[in-house]
Amino acid sequence: MKKFITYLGWTVLFGVILYIGHQIQVNLREVGNSTYNLVPYAVFFTCFPVLVGILLRASKWVKEIKEGSRWTFNVPKFLGICLPALYISFVPLIALTSGGQYILFYSELVLLANTNITTITGLIGGYVLLDCIRKK
């Protein structure tokens, strides 16, 4: 019964965060459309999936912290999965900067802006980022 309540608590927390995040995104889009300043909206839709990915891994990470042990950072997993996923996820945001045209694969990746691909890679990047920090 204790595990059920724990899982239910994480699910409710996850649902509340998704609901609040959606409301913030809708408000930022409306403000951006009326002021023609889409930077806050771009920052949010780029960073929010990463935070959700971190949240998806958080319950297991908290359990690992409670066990107590020596910690390591999985560099190959970070370089092979997390860094490319975060790169693809953050391309729409980087494209808004003055040096955006100099990023690698700019013309191909800028077409992915505000699509499911950037959302999915943000989720993967956030999850794997927290997963790279492991106990030894």
CA atoms within 13 A on the CB side of 90: 16
Q: Is the dihedral of CA 45, 47, 51, 54 positive or negative?
A: positive
pLDDT tens digits, one per residue of 86-136: 988 888 788 777 776 777 766 666 666 667 888 899 999 999 999 998 877
Which residues lie closer than 8 Å to 17 by C-beta, 6 or more apart? 52, 55
pTM assigned to the model: 0.84
Residue-range definition of the domain harbouring residue 130: 2-135
The total domain count for the chain is 1
Question: Mind listing the pLDDT tens digit for each residue in 5-55?
Answer: 988 998 999 899 999 999 999 999 999 889 988 889 888 988 999 999 999
